[in-house]
Structure 1
Amino acid sequence: MSSIASDTLPGRPADELRRDARTIGLVGLVHGTSHFFHLLLPPLFPHFMREFGLSYSQLGLLVTVFFVISGIGQALSGFLVDRIGARPALFGALGCFVAAALLAASADGYVGLMMASALAGLGNAPFHPVDFTILNRRVSTPRLGHAYSVHGISGNLGWALSPIFSIELFALTGSLRLTYAAVAGVALLVLAIVWWRRDDLDDRAALRRSPVPTPGPSPASSPASSPAPAAVASPAKAASAASAATAGGSTFGFLRLPSVWLCFSFLFFTTSALAAIQSFASPALQLLHDVPLRWAAWVVSAYMVCGALGMVAGGFLLARAERLEPLIARALMLAATFLLVAATPWVPGWLALALVSLAGIGTGLAGPSRDMLIRRAAPPDASGRVYGMVYSGLDLGFSVAAPIFGWLLDRGQPAGVLAGSALALGAAVLASSLVGRHTARTAATAAVASA
């Protein structure tokens, strides 16, 4: 995308730092909330199976409904964000989360759970176009790499906190209604905070005010905390300019860019892998290694915490990486190796739990580089549309993978859940390498044309 320094608000360095910190923190909060609501229902799947007589395949379909609606809505939300701004869409999304939790609290069967999942998916739809539009327009260039890290970390923390919150509160109260009423209260609290600090999320104000150059690395530098080699920034800038020319300035021109669809496929595969962990790693580990279900239930939270730690390190690695694809490949293959070893039946249960948890470090390391890879591959004039379309691959990955992994469990194949997750990560490595090759080829063509 285009240099973000041209879009940021003017001011003294200290004021800019505080403004960036407020915006990054608020965007992190709402992104964590969206991921918290990804797991509105899965942590209590064992209860739903007992209470309503459901199968793993039926539970997987609940996840599919959430992410089908979220994926379609996310692609459309990109156009909405480009038209009306990110902030109004954010308020509506948080309101949907409140309503979805209240529906879950009143559910008395599968239909009620399906309605709650659908409404939560609608609420989830705008978040990636909203988040990245706000960050790209309000955060100064030297801090943008770390903004991406915070964004990814907050999402993982939302995933980590959701099962702990739901499982422990349900264990304490024994009441589905009280548990989901408390979940609705979480969304209401976040909505109140966002409304209070709404000026720090105004992406339209960032565009209206006149830019003033800020100290630090030039716009051509890597948008992380320290400048990257010029060899990284210049090809990325050239590729972005070439992408803009290919898009042709039309509303749907970005859909002709191969890089958009390659990034889409990359997210599809990474989130297919994540769907296995989030929804079914706990029962798979319990069946495969005979570990107590209460211990296995915590593996999702441990995986997400490790992912958050990986993202912290990934933000610093991003500042020093000359090429993104090798970093992504090594990180994801590390995670895939851990999952494959955990899928073998002769591994002790405690070690399998540890390996699945530590696999989160590998996927976390790749997170900031993933977001930067998408940013470099996208044209500069369609931020909402591109992020909406590309990140709908995330929703499609969840929606397709969840029922498949549920089907595997119903047929007594728990090892297939972990092995399938590893296989999907391997496919993501291939997709990221294709994105990098296409971006480099586009940059070389643009450089020759401008010579």
Structure 2
Amino acid sequence: MVSDAQSRLVVGLVGGSHLVNHAYFMLLPPIFGPLKADIGVTDAQLGIALGVVGVVVTALQLPFGSLSDSRSRTSVLAISLTFGAVGAILTATAQSFAWLLAASVVTGVGIAGHHPAHYPLIGAATTEDTRGRAYSVHGFTGALGFAAPPAVVATASTLGVDWRVAIGGIAVVGAVYGAGCLLAFDRYVDAAITHPTNERTRESDEPLPTRIRRELRTLLSSPPIVALTVLWFVTSMAGWGIKQYTATLLSSGYSLPEATANFAVSAMLVTGAVLIFAGGWLTDRYSPGPVLVGGYAALVAVAGLLALGTLPTLGALALVLVLSATVDGSRPARASLADSLSTADSAGKNFGLLTVGISGGAAVAPPVLAVVVERAGVEAAFWAVAAIGVVAIALTAGVLHLGEGGATETVQPGD
């Protein structure tokens, strides 16, 4: 039996890793302007670089998941934290578009490993009556990770420090945390948590490609889970559109200084992180369906109003503050809905497919929205986000119908 102290340690270590990995995921958007000025890349090329990260993350989800289940969760965690830090260093030193693409590939490898390691570690270290709170911490720290790079870059800009120093600082902090995290797991966490059971290890004798194909066929045989995966895909697209272009919209559309716009984005993401807890409470009280529909309706309204470009500056800042929360606040509801559509022996595999939806959205949104911005302006990207909100409402209705009325089980917040 896992002690309370060890359980708290694992949740804390994994939460810190989630923050670091999400910071790596958010490295590029705050430095779009400096990258264009310093190495001469275009908006489309920046979108491609950010999309490459998502492609790599998507491609490696199931392989890393199989490695975590069959060998060692901490080995996947080590790959994640190491490659993430190296990718951040390469980003900080980028001198060309090709260099930036290479940095994106390495960063993507690092980011790809964090969910396949995190969720099994938390599951092994917690009990049924504490797991929901553990996943709330996990979701909260991940949201803070998204908020960190805009704040760091904005602070550096205010102090007259070069953006390369800011990104390099994130890399150094991440590397130091990674070393301490892995050392703590090695010294203080039982092997029963960090390694799979003997039964799972024996299953690893099946060739990895064969196992992945078999598991994928099983996952795709559930229409509600497939529909929910598409929902996670489109909401991931909306979330990345918000993260990628809110600062640009505030700068170009509302004439705010770049540093102020990045501070506003950080404040927006922190607000979204806090409201994850509110989303969990509302889901428990009212069920996932109303929370999802309400959140996506708010997304449509807020993104549409910002896209008009006619709001007073304070009004725009007020709406930006809650923009990310329209997506983040629904995370517990989406997780609860997935939980209710899963059996005891399929929840892990289902979440793996849903994570592919998340990372797939992260791969598709940046290049697609970059083209939209280049051809029609940043306001058009927010009209696209509002349209995605309409699609999300329709998909939610479809998932609830396929799942025969939706979910009422206990929420387990996650990404």
User: In which range does the TM-score fall when normalised by the shorter chain?
Assistant: 0.7 to 0.9
Confirm whether residue 354 of structure 1 aligns to residue 318 of structure 2: yes
TM-aligned CA distance change 1:126 to 1:386, over 3 Å: farther
Cα deviations by residue, 1:347-391 (Å, 9 ceiling, x for unpaired): 112211220221223223211121222233234335554333211
Correspondences of 1:60-209 after superposition (within 5 Å): 60-169=47-156, 172=159, 174-198=161-185, 199-200=188-189, 204=193
Give yes or no for contact 1:34–1:127 (8 Å, CA) kept in 2. Answer: yes
2: distance between equivalents of 1:415 and 1:392? Answer: 28
Work out the CA distance in 2 between the residues paired with 1:442 and 1:372: 10
Whether contact under 8 Å (2:219, 2:353) holds in the other structure is: no
Task: Tell me the distance in 2 between the aligned counterparts of 1:302 and 1:263.
Answer: 29
Question: Of residues 11, 19, 29 in structure 2, which corresponds to 1:24?
Answer: 11
* Distance in structure 2 (CA, Å) of the matches to 1:57 and 1:316: 40
Distance 1:38 1:202, change over 3 A: farther
| Conserved? CA contact 2:81–2:174, under 8 Å | yes
AA matched with 2:236: T
1:69 maps to a residue whose letter is V
* Aligned partner of residue 298 in structure 1, secondary structure: helix
Per the alignment, do residues 169 and 271 of structure 1 end up closer, same or farther by CA in structure 2, a change over 3 Å counting?
same
Superposed displacement of residue 261, structure 1:
1.6
Deviation at 1:393, TM superposition (A): 1.1
Moved more, 59-68 or 292-301: 292-301
Identity %: 25
The Cα shift of 1:196 comes to 3.1
Which whole-Å deviations, capped at 9, do the CAs of 1:121-149 have from their partners, x for residues lacking one?
11111222222222233221122222222
Shift of 1:207: 6.7
Per the alignment, residue 232 of structure 1 pairs with none
Distance change (3 Å), C-alpha of 1:85 and 1:316: farther
Partner in structure 1 of residue 202 of structure 2: none
Corresponding residue number in structure 1 for 2:201: none
The alpha-carbon distance between structure 1 residues 251 and 74, as it changes in their structure 2 partners (threshold 3 A), is closer
CA contact (8 A) 1:133 1:203 kept: no
Match of 1:397 among 357, 361, 365: 361
Cα pair 1:133 1:383 within 8 Å, conserved? no
- 1:346 Cα deviation from its structure 2 partner: 2.1
The structural deviation recorded for 1:177 is: 4.5
Q: What is the DSSP-based 3-state SS (H/G/I as helix, E as strand, rest coil) of the residue aligned with 2:95?
A: coil
Deviations 1:144-189 (A, max 9, x none): 2222222211111001112111342355464454333322212212
2:227 corresponding residue in structure 1: 262
Unaligned runs of 5+ in 1: 1-8, 210-249, 444-451
Query: In structure 2, what is the Cα distance between the partners aligned to 1:20 and 1:37?
Result: 26
2:399 maps to 1:435: yes
Which residue does 1:274 correspond to in 2?
Answer: 239
User: How high is the TM-score relative to the length of structure 2?
Assistant: 0.86
Whether the 8 Å contact between 2:73 and 2:195 is mirrored in structure 1 is no
In structure 2, what residue type is equivalent to 1:368?
Answer: P
SS of residue in 1 equivalent to 2:309: coil
Is the Cα contact below 8 Å between 1:75 and 1:385 reproduced in 2?
no
* 1:429 Cα deviation after fit: 2.7
Q: 1:354 to 1:319 in 2, by over 3 A?
A: same
| One of 309, 316, 319 as aligned partner of 1:345 | 309
Q: Residues of 1 paired with 2:383 and 2:191: CA distance? A: 44
Deviation larger for 161-170 or 268-277: 161-170
Query: For the Cα contact (< 8 Å) 2:72–2:194, is it kept in 1?
Result: no
Correspondent of 2:271 among 306, 315, 325: 306
Which is further off, 96-105 or 250-259? 250-259
CA contact (8 A) 2:72 2:196 kept: no
Gap runs ≥5 in structure 2? 199-213, 408-415
- 1:311–1:364 contact (8 Å) kept in structure 2: yes
Kindly indicate whether the alpha-carbon contact (under 8 Å) linking 2:157 and 2:259 is maintained by their aligned counterparts in 1: no
Report the 3-state secondary structure (helix = DSSP H, G, I; strand = E; otherwise coil) of the residue aligned with 2:19.
Answer: helix
The residue aligned with 1:326 is 290
CA contact (8 A) 1:32 1:157 kept: yes
Identify if the C-alpha distance between structure 1 residues 130 and 386 changes in structure 2 by more than 3 Å, giving closer, same or farther.
farther
Q: What displacement does 1:202 show?
A: 5.3
Which amino acid in structure 2 is aligned with residue 111 of structure 1?
A
Residues 19 and 318 of structure 1: is their aligned pair in 2 closer, same or farther, counting only changes over 3 Å? farther
Which AA in structure 2 matches 1:300? V
Deviation sequence 1:313-335 (CA, Å, 0-9, x none): 123233334x3111121122223
Q: Among residues 374, 399, 406, which one is paired with 1:410 in the alignment?
A: 374
Cα distance, 1:23–1:336 mapped onto 2, change above 3 Å: farther
* SS of corresponding position for 1:40: coil
Residue equivalent to 2:39: 52
RMSD: 2.6
Q: What residue in structure 1 maps to residue 389 of structure 2?
A: 425
Equivalent residue pairs, number? 390
Confirm or deny: 8 A CA contact 1:86 1:203 kept in the other structure: no
- Cross-structure match for 1:34: 21
Q: 1:213 maps to which residue?
A: none
Normalising to structure 1: TM-score of the pair? Answer: 0.80
**Change in CA separation of 1:133 and 1:427 when aligned onto 2, cut-off 3 Å:** farther
Q: What's the CA shift string for 1:398-427, capped at 9, x where partnerless? A: 221112222222224222122211221232
Distance 1:65 1:416 in 2: 23
Match of 1:240 in 2: none
What SS is found at the alignment partner of 2:344?
coil
Q: Give the superposition deviation at 1:442.
A: 10
Larger Rg over CA atoms:
1
